[in-house]
Amino acid sequence: MKFPVPHDIKAKTIPGTEGWERMYPYQYQFVTDDPVRNQYEKDTFWFYDGLHYPEPLYPFDTIWDEAWFLALSQFNNRIFMVPPVRGVDHRMINGYPYISPVPVKDPAEIGRRVPNFMERAGYYYKNWDALEAKWKIKMEATIRELEALQIPRLADMEELAVVTDAIGESKGYHLLKNYDDLINLGIKCWQYHFEFLNLGYAAYVFFLDFVQKLFPSIPAQRVTQMISGIDVIMYQPDEELKKLARKAVELGVDSVVTFSQEWTEVEAALKKLPKGVEWLSSLALAREPWFNISTGTGWFHHDRSWNDQMNVPLSGIATYIGKVKQGISIDRPTEKVRAERDRITAEYRGLIEKEEDRKQFDELLGCAKTVFPYVENHLFYVEHWFHSVFWNKMREVAVIMKEHGVIAEVEDVWLLRRDEIKSALWDIVTAWATGVTPRGTKTWPKEILWRKGVMQKFKEWSPPPAIGTAPEVIQEPFTIVLWGVTNKSLADWASVQEVKDPDTITELKGFAGSPGIIEGKARVCRTVSEVGQLLEGEILVAPTTSPSWAPAFAKIGACITDVGGVMSHAAIVCREYGMPAVVGTGMATKIIRTGMMLRVDGSTGAITIRR
């Protein structure tokens, strides 16, 4: 399979964005001035990580890409010594990250890595539950540390206590130090993120692989169904909304909770009623930590949490109140899901002819079930809880930068790289200490304005799904399971790319995420704030979904996403609700328009647009 040469793509600079490279770390660039690196880049297969980045990265937001660049790679290559793979290399074109798994090429080296891997990974698999319990403690301590972190304002005169307690340090120094601490906590949190994840995915992907060897036609979703119905905390925020809906009906304040879509109005009205106050105290309990859930994936600064945007959970609660009042069950059909899971597992197992294959099936299924909760739960701790708090701490830093005139608006801070922010803070604190004006007040606002224009142009650009030279074999578990990079997906991506006029496309292919066939009207929602427009039974078409989208699933008839595999959020939730999902279509949100009639076949991954 042939894909464009990365350097050719990069060479076609979008007019007006010349010099954009300085917005990102220098090692992310495809280069032409280093022949060895240039050749490596040409010979390598790079695919656009649309799963995580449906839109171009703001300079600051690159922090998480760098964080997982380090964390994933180190765990594969330096800690667990995964025999045939090193890390995953990263590049950037026009704000869109491209990634590539790096193989170990020398068979002798692969062989040498085997015993290390068996010892190290084996230790984690064997002690999974105990180590996972330790992980939770480490992770929660990290989040508490983040929450306690102070971002000090710079006063004209330091407090007297600095003198009387003989502290010997200024707020200026604390600002620099705490900014470093903030960043380091973020990087640390991502270290933990990958502690279990590679192994978790490996267990999962090779269980899938094993079952597909026995049953070559088995849809991947049937395999994931065998590990469904396990309680994971990712469902908890949604469960809290349901609890609050039931509670509102119980207390008779449901009409107050639903009288407005504006949280501030609802809250004010509730405060006037004794029962309303009682409901608000239940809400307060639910909010920490469960409303630290991002309305997006948590990867972007603009993914605000439920706590930041109370209108979002409010609309979810209102949806559930409506269902409760109509006497419709809002419980996840967990019992049904489990019964079906057990039936399916038993029937497939019954078709396995050889005793040793049945034994291997049991082993791998057990292992997949063990790792499954972590594979889901880490998302809540890292991408949702930690990130939600983190973005707001960064906003506190931005407030100070704005006060000192280095940026015009708080939200401008995201247009700087994190090391540029550090430099700007040095500029600010030295100027503050000295009593002069920071140099940045004249340089940054101009640069930020230009960068905003660049970002706009990046958003209008469509990154090709893959560039470089496709390999024969992919061994890196993430690449296989999470991005669903397979021969077939690449060919599907390539074929849609070839169509000139998107208005003539009537067939779209994606992964069969959750079985079933349904016809209905499309509703394209690019962000969770648009889910309020969904009408009962519509088909949700989204770039990707996350747990904060959960209430939407109570309304829709099916779900289609641009990005994600059979383990993605949309696929998992749809299977739990028993509705069709087609995921990883590549470009559904670009081709489908709200109101189009669609036929969604979640068993085959086919979408038909009735034009």
Partner 1 sequence: MASAASVIERTPADAVKTGLPVVCWFEECRKDSVPLVGGKCASLGELINAGVRVPPGFALTTEGSRRFMAEAGIDREIASLLSGVDAGDLDALEKISEQIRAVIETQPFSIEIEDLIAECYRKLAVRCGMPAVPVAVRSSATAEDLPGASFAGQQDTYLWIRGVDDLLHHMRRCISSLYTGRAIAYRANRGFGGDQVAISVGVQKMANSYTAGVMFTIHPANGDRSVIVIDSNFGFGESVVSGEVTPDHFVVNKITLDIIDRTISQKQICYTVDPKTQRSLAIEVPFERQKVQSLIDDEITELAWMGKQIEKHYGRPMDIEWAVDKDLPAGGNIFILQARPETVWSEKSQRAASGAGGSAMDYILSSLLTGKKVS
DSSP letter at 331? S
* Element (DSSP H or E) covering residue 142: helix 128-148
CB of 357 to partner 1, least distance (A): 5
Instruction: Indicate which single residue of 156, 166, 217, 610 sits in contact with partner 1 (rule: CB under 8 A).
Output: 217
* 19 Cβ neighbours under 8 A, 6+ residues apart: none
User: CA 528, CA 303: separation in Å to the nearest integer?
Assistant: 9
Identify whether the C-beta of residue 571 lies closer than 8 Å to the C-beta of residue 593. no
Residues 96-109 as b or e (16 or more Cβ within 10 Å = b): bbbbbbbebeeeee
The two three-digit tokens of residue 397, written as one number:
């830093």
| Interaction between residue 577 and partner 1 (CB under 8 A) | no
CB of 28 to partner 1, least distance (A): 24
Count the Cβ atoms, other than its own, within 10 Å of residue 518.
16
| Interaction between residue 260 and partner 1 (CB under 8 A) | no
Instruction: Indicate which single residue of 114, 155, 449, 535 sits in contact with partner 1 (rule: CB under 8 A).
Output: 114
Instruction: Indicate which single residue of 40, 74, 117, 599 sits in contact with partner 1 (rule: CB under 8 A).
Output: 117
| Interaction between residue 473 and partner 1 (CB under 8 A) | yes
Nearer to partner 1, 357 or 396 (CB): 357
Segment 1 to 40, residues that bind partner 1, using CB under 8 A: 1
Choose the binding region for partner 1 from 188-196, 353-361, 438-446, 567-575 (rule: CB under 8 A). 353-361
Choose the binding region for partner 1 from 80-88, 234-242, 423-431, 566-574 (rule: CB under 8 A). 80-88
| Interaction between residue 607 and partner 1 (CB under 8 A) | no
* Element (DSSP H or E) covering residue 36: helix 35-43
* 281 Cβ neighbours under 8 A, 6+ residues apart: none
Instruction: Indicate which single residue of 428, 512, 550, 567 sits in contact with partner 1 (rule: CB under 8 A).
Output: 512
| Interaction between residue 128 and partner 1 (CB under 8 A) | no
Nearer to partner 1, 113 or 247 (CB): 113
Nearer to partner 1, 234 or 482 (CB): 482
| Interaction between residue 583 and partner 1 (CB under 8 A) | no
Identify whether the C-beta of residue 372 lies closer than 8 Å to the C-beta of residue 364. no
Choose the binding region for partner 1 from 5-13, 198-206, 494-502, 519-527 (rule: CB under 8 A). 198-206
Instruction: Indicate which single residue of 480, 534, 574, 607 sits in contact with partner 1 (rule: CB under 8 A).
Output: 480
Q: Which residue, among 32, 34, 37, has the nearest Cα to 10 in the 3D structure?
A: 32
Instruction: Indicate which single residue of 116, 191, 282, 486 sits in contact with partner 1 (rule: CB under 8 A).
Output: 486
Q: How far is CA 48 from each of CA 55, 479, 497, 592, rounded to the nearest angstrom? A: 11, 11, 14, 21
Q: How far is CA 340 from each of CA 335, 352, 373, 577, rounded to the nearest angstrom? A: 9, 19, 19, 12
CB of 489 to partner 1, least distance (A): 10
CB of 107 to partner 1, least distance (A): 10
Phi, psi of 98 (to 5 degrees): -115, 140
| Interaction between residue 351 and partner 1 (CB under 8 A) | yes
User: CA 254, CA 321: separation in Å to the nearest integer?
Assistant: 7
What x-and-dash track marks residues 355-384 binding partner 1 by CB under 8 A?
-xx-xx--xx-xx-----------------
Beta bridge partners of 48: 98
Choose the binding region for partner 1 from 21-29, 60-68, 137-145, 200-208 (rule: CB under 8 A). 200-208
Cα angle value 149/150/151 (rounded, 5°):
120
| Interaction between residue 78 and partner 1 (CB under 8 A) | no
User: CA 443, CA 558: separation in Å to the nearest integer?
Assistant: 50
Choose the binding region for partner 1 from 272-280, 287-295, 347-355, 454-462 (rule: CB under 8 A). 347-355
**Which amino acid, residue 535?**
L
Handedness of CA 407, 411, 412, 413 (dihedral sign): positive
Place of tokens 């010099």: 19
Nearer to partner 1, 420 or 601 (CB): 601
User: CA 345, CA 549: separation in Å to the nearest integer?
Assistant: 29
Identify whether the C-beta of residue 290 lies closer than 8 Å to the C-beta of residue 305. no
CB of 604 to partner 1, least distance (A): 6
Nearer to partner 1, 359 or 442 (CB): 359
Q: Collapse the DSSP code of 598 into the 3-class scheme (helix H, G, I; strand E, B; otherwise coil) and give the result.
A: strand
| Interaction between residue 112 and partner 1 (CB under 8 A) | no
Instruction: Indicate which single residue of 58, 179, 299, 348 sits in contact with partner 1 (rule: CB under 8 A).
Output: 348
Instruction: Indicate which single residue of 8, 43, 112, 118 sits in contact with partner 1 (rule: CB under 8 A).
Output: 118
Mapping DSSP onto H, E and C, the string for 63-80 reads: HHHHHHHHHHHHHHHHHC
Contacts with partner 1 by CB under 8 A: the residue count is: 59
Of the chain, the end-to-end C-alpha distance in Å amounts to 32
Nearer to partner 1, 164 or 217 (CB): 217
Instruction: Indicate which single residue of 487, 495, 504, 506 sits in contact with partner 1 (rule: CB under 8 A).
Output: 487
Nearer to partner 1, 460 or 472 (CB): 472
| Interaction between residue 494 and partner 1 (CB under 8 A) | no
* 227 Cβ neighbours under 8 A, 6+ residues apart: 204, 207, 341, 365, 368, 369, 372
Task: Name the residues that contact partner 1, by CB under 8 A.
Answer: 1, 82-85, 110, 114, 117-118, 121-122, 125, 202-203, 206, 209-210, 213-219, 222, 343-344, 347-348, 351-354, 356-357, 359-360, 363-364, 366-367, 470-475, 477, 480, 485-487, 490, 512, 515-517, 603-604
